[in-house]
Amino acid sequence: RKIPRGFSRFCRSFSCDFAALRCVQKSKPVRHSHRRPLPASLCIAASQAARCRRIAATRRRASMPRAASLATLMAGVVLGDLSQLAPPAKGKTRLYLCRHGQTDWNAAKKIQGSVDRELNELGERQALLIGEALKSVDITLVAASPLSRAFRTADLAMNVACPSVEGVRIHPGLREMNFGELEGAVAAESSLYAEVNAAWASGDVERKWPAGESPRDVELRGRQALAGLGLLGQKDGPLHTHVAVVCHGRFNKILLSSLLGRGIDKCGEIQQGNCCINVVDVDVAAAVDAAQPATEVALDSRDHLNGVDADTPS
């Protein structure tokens, strides 16, 4: 008998959703003492979000002129499919540097810094979508800041993307910048916030927040943290090919500006939305203080967040 039009597409879609749900539900038992069980509601939300992304992608492609559609396909990363990227060159490790999911303070535009705030419900859904995006690559190391919003994001993502990896590695050097007296303030309402950012942009990267840190402080400890994870100063070559690290908005901006040789005075030019993914290839044999030890593949990618991107860039 003739199969009705669209039936096979429906079957494939249902099969993908069911497979994604079973993958999350069958993830290995937790290995870290702080790990909490993955709620069934989040499993279902991840499956539903994946289906919504496929539907939205189909509609976008259908509405694109043929030339524009071909240009998009030739551009590299399509709809967050990281497996389509060319592999990293010999001697390099591909670093997927992510920002944590949304917190209530993110939603309120408050400066968090070293204050430990947990993910809200939207933030946990976003974290699962990082896992969906990274599932297509062979992640062998997952690391995170010790602050709970970053660790929880890494933990949720790992359960989806790479449940066989032995826990999330915590490194204190990956924590967010200390904003000192400004922590808890609304950035847009602080004249000091604008003043200090302007000073950095003019080259004064040694200037600290009152009772806080400077961009130079963050740069130095961030590079040392990468060395501690085996991503810099490794004369014997890469220990890993694909590594995922979950950190924070301002920390990521400073570290990326440093690694890519842009100068940390340019850190304000990089955007970092909640649960964005930055992809850079790191020359692990480079010295910890090398001028440009990494090359850019993609910055602030949020394609994987279709439908749940709250648009709270840092």
Cβ atoms within 10 A of the Cβ of 299, count?
18
Considering only CA atoms, give the Rg of the chain.
20
- Let me know if 195 is a catalytic residue: no
Question: Is 100 known to be catalytic?
Answer: yes
Task: Give rounded-to-5 percent helix, strand, coil for the chain.
Answer: 45, 10, 45
Query: Rounded CA gap, 59 and 52, in Å?
Result: 11
Alpha carbon distance 159, 29 (integer Å): 9
DSSP state of 262: S
Contact 200, 217 (CB under 8 A): no
Q: What Cα–Cα distance (Å) separates residue 139 from each residue in 19, 162, 228?
A: 20, 6, 18
The tokens for 264 are: 């940390």
**CB 267, CB 217: distance < 8 Å:** no
Q: Token pair for residue 189?
A: 């309402």
Residues 20-48, buried b or exposed e (16+ Cβ, 10 A)?
Answer: bbebbeebeeeeeeebeebeeebbebbbe
* Residue 145 near residue 151 (C-beta atoms within 8 A): yes
CA distance 190 to 83: 42
**Structure-token pair, residue 291:** 């001028």
The single-letter code of the amino acid at 268 is G
Phi, psi of 294 (to 5 degrees): -140, 155
Strands 141-144 and 242-247: parallel
How far apart CA 246 and CA 12 sit, in angstroms, is 32
Could you say which of 124, 132, 176, 183 is catalytic? 176
Question: Which residues are part of the catalytic machinery?
Answer: 100, 176
